[in-house]
Chains A and B, each alone.
Chain A
């Protein structure tokens, strides 16, 4: 089975721009979660999508948004980029039907905001 894939792997943007990151989950997985990883704040949950609906949301401003398509692929968007948005963005997939399921992570997208 193919793992979780994320594109692009690296991005460089300037302040004020917007960015879209993509995640393709493991085949058959209906849940996709997004996390932000920074040296200062560690790993923080952004949101989770299940069957095209946002099921959970972390404590991030409205500039961070996402969506999920009928094939379970997910995108997250960050508008009006700030320097502090520089981070590794990780997506994770799971079947999504049990809280005990482990999540499988992609390699991440490293976003640098200049």
Chain B
């Protein structure tokens, strides 16, 4: 079965420090991977995606993610965290058995950036 795991419910980081939000996946074949962020009372905002090509993907708001096929991971990173980055982050993989737009989401990781 295809799945996504976000092993940390919450990540705490001091402002200015680097941050990492972890994601591992299980899918047959080559995965299509996505990161989304959700602010309170808002929908999900797209951050970045990996489809093919360079393992390091750059996205919105200074975020990047590294695709690692051998470790089946797609961790989200940012070199210097901002308080305004505090939000709920979701990793997702496209369900290849379900057609184009069926995404399987991880449980989410709450990022708290402290001043």
**A residues apposed to B, CB below 8 Å:** 4, 6, 31, 33, 35, 42-45, 48, 50, 55-56, 58, 90, 92, 94, 96-108
Contact = CB atoms under 8 A, between A and B. Distances in A.
Contacts of A96: 100-101
Given A48-B100, A107-B43, 16 more contacts: A33-B102, A33-B103, A42-B105, A42-B108, A50-B100, A50-B101, A55-B100, A90-B43, A92-B44, A92-B101, A96-B100, A101-B100, A102-B46, A103-B103, A104-B46, A105-B43
B107 interface: yes
B110 to A, nearest CB: 12
B22 interface: no
Q: How many B residues are at the interface, by size bracket?
A: 20 to 34
Contacts of A92: 44, 101
Contacts of B41: 107
Contacts of B101: 31, 33, 48, 50, 55-56, 92, 94, 96, 99, 101, 103
Q: Which 9 A-B pairs have the closest CB atoms?
A: A105-B43, A43-B105, A100-B51, A105-B44, A56-B99, A102-B46, A99-B100, A107-B43, A48-B101
Contacts of B51: 100
B36 A105 contact: yes
B45 interface: yes
B102 A106 contact: no
24 contacts: A31-B100, A35-B103, A43-B90, A43-B103, A43-B105, A45-B98, A45-B104, A48-B101, A55-B99, A56-B99, A56-B101, A94-B100, A94-B101, A99-B94, A99-B96, A99-B101, A100-B94, A101-B100, A102-B49, A103-B101, A105-B44, A105-B46, A108-B42, A108-B43
Nearest to B94: A99
B99 A48 contact: yes
Contacts of B96: 99
B34 interface: yes
Contact of A58 (B32, B94, B102): B102
B102 A45 contact: yes
From A43, A48, A107, name the one whose CB has the most chain B CB atoms within 10 angstroms: A43
